[in-house]
Structure 1
Amino acid sequence: MRYNVFGRTGHTVSALGFGAMNLPGVPFEQARDALNYALDRGITYIDTAAGYRNSEEIIGDSISHRRSEYFLATKTAQREYEKAKEEIDRSLKRMKTDYVDLLQIHYVNTVQEFQKAMGENGSYRAALEAQREGKVRFIGISGHRPDLLAKWIAPGQFDQVLFHLSLVQPFALDELIPVMNRLGMAKTAMKPLSGGFVQPVEKAFRYTYSQDVHTMISGMVSVDEVKENLAALEREVEAEEKRELESMAANLSAHNCRRCNYCSCPLEIPIPDMMISSVVRRELGLLPKGQAFYEKHKSKIVSCADYEPCREKPLCEEKCPYHLPMQRTIQETAATLA
């Protein structure tokens, strides 16, 4: 296991972090065993959030007795001071700890959300207060707009950023990471498999592992998944392999979607998932989770071409800050499903 100094926090963290978002979906004993096995094998970064159902409780019940062995990161999606303050205290109680190493202002994707969180009665004030009280060591932010995150962190108010970085979403390398490096910030990459769409799994992990980040979090729910993730990172990525992986990323990111979720579809088609997986589906095929996604949404996708309100001007596209050809992508996919 490689270990990196986590930016200006000065703490050392494992290059592979344990993402606990999906633990509520498996039996407690399985989740407990996965967490403890991860710690036993040297994973020292645990990531969760108040909004991940009972993930925080699972962590508290499973590994709180080993608190000195891991760097604990959680998140609040509240934007108001009082609600965030309550949520922070609730998170500490759930995880059976007096402090978290990192509290992130969660899923900030619009200017309006950022301004509200950073306002006089916003959640950032609650985070600062908790930091003064010793409940929080460091403060970070997470989001899906690397270009906006780069602007928001410039004043130096955050210690860390959690961002997408994968074979299908390499955009943070150009839009965000250079700013973070200038500020000496802690860099956490998420979704190396982009929510279960990207394959081959080993190449996906090794791509993110090879990039300029301190730790990457992978959503693991079993001992076997921890083993698989660790096995993919047993050896360092050499220069030739890195060039190959970066060439793959340049091809697989041609969709250009950042998953900011500004778009919305009246037919309830999950457009970001479709955009991001479209090139992978065509070039490499999908993992079982990705195949199940297309089966689940097949009827909606096929009906896009006949949806009258979008015939002249697609409702989704006018909301996209990157002006992506969403309707064309959906209808091209529909032709392969019909």
Structure 2
Amino acid sequence: MRMPDRLGSVQLTDVVRYAGASGDLNPIHYDPSFNRAAGHEGLFAMGALHGGWLVSHVVSQGASPPEDAPWFLRLRYHGIVPLGLDLEAESSVGPDRTTADLTGGGERKVSLELAGLDAPPAAGGGRDEQRCTFPVELGTAKRFSEAVRWPEPMAPGSPVPPTYLSVLSFWLPNPDPIDRVGFDHSRTLLGETSISMTRGPVRVGEVFEVREYVGEERTREGRAGVMRLVDLVAELSDDTGLRVAYRNTFILMPAADGPVRPLTGSKDPETGQVFYPARALSVDGRMRPLVESALASEGVLYSWTTYAGTAYGQVDLDDGVRLQVRLAPGDHQIGARYRLAGSPDGDRWFEHA
């Protein structure tokens, strides 16, 4: 029996490198104070970071998706990976199907499946659609491939890592996936990533038209209570039609018992500008420290829609922050005043003021 391969441990430098390469800027992974406030005992890696390591590992072991047939890659995240935890990978690479597990501390953290599809992916639908043009740039691909330990060099025409599609955040109008699904950063984890390809890999130099939308929503009973799961789907098309369907499933964990925490962001003392999610430094290049600030609890409804019988909208708060939120049942009016009515600790919702 083959022994597992040691992959080492994720360090803070790996998290920072991946955040810059992918655009995944959830402070729960690199800001100790935010992490503690969210109830965690220490910093932990983004699932897509060590998930990307596992993908790179199976490619280094000989796994290769077909060039001219539909295929899929699925990563399931089973538990958080604290920084410094030693990781091991065990894989089974076959001509038609590859599976692998990433373990740490005797527990499975990520499982992987790479295999062919019986039919190419088909377009779907959901709410809050946004679009962009997505060029697969060489420089961005190089930075990302280094962050996930991709075993092959990047050059014009090279295949990029399958999870490279996370860099879509650099081009999408609203780049924050957690904000897009209306969850709180402090309670949100990545549950699964699924990538379905019509044929072959995405390559450096290709250009795609992207349609992203919020897809299926459901609940699941967990050990700590009811979890909410939401799919965020991006479909990439070129002149041949749909090439890639990229889905991330986000999980809103149950709120901890105790008093509800206020909805807070950061404020620039010099300009008065308010940011959400909270950030540590100013955005003008001068690196001024920002201060914690409670967000306004009222604002104006900018837009709204319904999906699966539930109303969702964007509310422009009085302090300038735009939130993606769930709305109370009933009729809604763009331009009307709305106020925070639900828990700001993740499952926030607004109603007529």
- Which TM-score applies when normalising by structure 1? 0.30
Give the TM-score normalised by the residue count of structure 2.
Answer: 0.29
Larger relative contact order (CA 8 Å, sep ≥ 6): 1
